[in-house]
Amino acid sequence: MRTFEYTACADWSGARGERPPGLAVATMQRGHAPKLDRASHKWSRQDILDWLIMLADTQTDIIIGLDLSFGFPFADQKSYFPGWQESPQTARELWAAIDEACNGDPYLGADTFLNHAQVRRHFRHSKDDVGDLFTGGLGRLRAVEHHQRITGQANSWSCFNLVGAGQVGKSSLTGMRVLHRLNGRIPIWPFDPVPPKGPVIVEIYTSMAARAAGLPKGRSKIRDRAGLIAALSALNAPHPRRLHRYDDHATDALITAAWLQSAAHDPALWNAISNTHWNAPVQKTQITETEGWTFGVI
């Protein structure tokens, strides 16, 4: 398994507006403390896209974790949006469809796609606005989400649920626009093989990094210096200088960048899809072409 000189985490947000407070980026060089990039700067999604393109252009030796889902459920019904004849058939087709539909949405938003007559039927938009094809309960889950719920590694929400503090659908839709606009400049695992050099992007859940740092399930958010130092110490990472702010977006990004320093060098995590024993027949090629996988789930 290759090693990386740098690790990074982008804590994502699908909120409306140019610079939503949920965006944060942290990087860590091997042997150094993790740091917030542009600590006093409010990121936009376009800023992060520009930063990723810069990493591609400079062929920086870095693994970048993005805190969003790279695909929607597909394997369970062999379609992202059953009943829609034009439903995309691969993750890249999905990213392209979202970006094309939302070309006029400002700040890489995704409202237009969600309001598509066929697409909106599959989502829970609010307590009183539930699409007739939303499956109820948690909503449809990807193979990786089913697996991590069974093993207890995480309690992922369905991307089709847009209600509640834990919803990830809007973040994922806006993030997929960024993945499409990268236009192949950076390999995206597991859709692409890990390159022998240069940057690579993986999907992560910051809560998994928090658990690895010793934070209890359901209480993984840190909003003070003492908590951050304790979490980084558990990951054998030096702690940074005092931050301008200690909100959970900043600390999530720092802890995850530190966690990736060891996780990225674990071959078992890169081979997790092949090594997983499925409870239902799922073609692994479907996962690597349509749904993706959360790095760190085994």
Nearest to 26 by CA among 65, 79, 74, 59: 65
Centre a 10 Å sphere on the Cβ of residue 147 and count the other Cβ atoms it contains. 24
Question: Which comes out higher in pLDDT, residue 62 or 138?
Answer: 62
pLDDT tens-place string over residues 3-19: 999 999 999 999 999 99
Radius of gyration (C-alpha) of the chain in whole angstroms = 18
pLDDT tens-place string over residues 193-242: 999 999 999 999 999 999 999 987 766 688 889 999 999 999 999 998 88
Q: Distances in Å between the alpha carbon of 112 and those of 44, 118, 161, 169, 204?
A: 19, 12, 17, 14, 26
* Segment 44-64 mean pLDDT: 98
Global pTM value: 0.94
Map residue 63 onto helix, strand or coil. strand
* Segment 102-129 mean pLDDT: 96
Q: Are 25 and 43 in contact (CB under 8 A)?
A: yes
Tokens of residue 259, six digits: 């966690």
* CA 222 – CA 226 distance, rounded (Å): 9
pLDDT tens-place string over residues 20-46: 999 999 999 999 999 998 876 799 999
Task: Provide the pLDDT for residue 65.
Answer: 98
